[in-house]
Amino acid sequence: DARVTQTPRHKVTEMGQEVTMRCQPILGHNTVFWYRQTMMQGLELLAYFRNRAPLDDSGMPKDRFSAEMPDATLATLKIQPSEPRDSAVYFCASAAPPQPLHFGNGTRLTVT
C-alpha cells in the first residue's frame, strides 16, 4: 500500500528558529499539496505543485514560509523565522489526477 511519507512526525522548536518539513509523495503522483490544520481552521491549503512546478502558494505567509520541490521524490516546506502562531499539524498530500488525494501522516509542529 503506497504511502505519502512525511518527516519529522513531531517537531518542537523555539520561536525564531528555522523549521524544515519534508514530504516524499507516492511514486508516480505528479501533484503535491501542503495543508495546515489547526482546531479552528480545518484544512488550510498553503501551496501546491504540479510536475514539480509551483502553481499556487497564495495561502502561505510569503515573508516566512517557502515551499519547494527539488525533485520528484521530495517536497519541502520551510518556516523562517518560526512563530508560536505557526503551531499546527502540517499535512502533505499527493495525487495523480483524476485520482483522489492521499495524505501523509503529518508533522505536528510546536513553536514555543
The residues that touch other proteins, with contacts defined as CB under 8 A, are 31, 42-43, 45, 48, 56, 91, 95, 97-98, 100-106
- Which residue's CB is nearer to other proteins, number 84 or number 97? 97
- Which residue's CB is nearer to other proteins, number 41 or number 63? 41
Strand, helix or coil for residue 84 = helix
Cβ at position 18, least distance to other proteins in Å: 25
Residues whose CB falls within 8 Å of the CB of residue 59, separated by 6 or more in sequence, listed in order? 44, 45, 46, 47
- Which residue's CB is nearer to other proteins, number 87 or number 103? 103
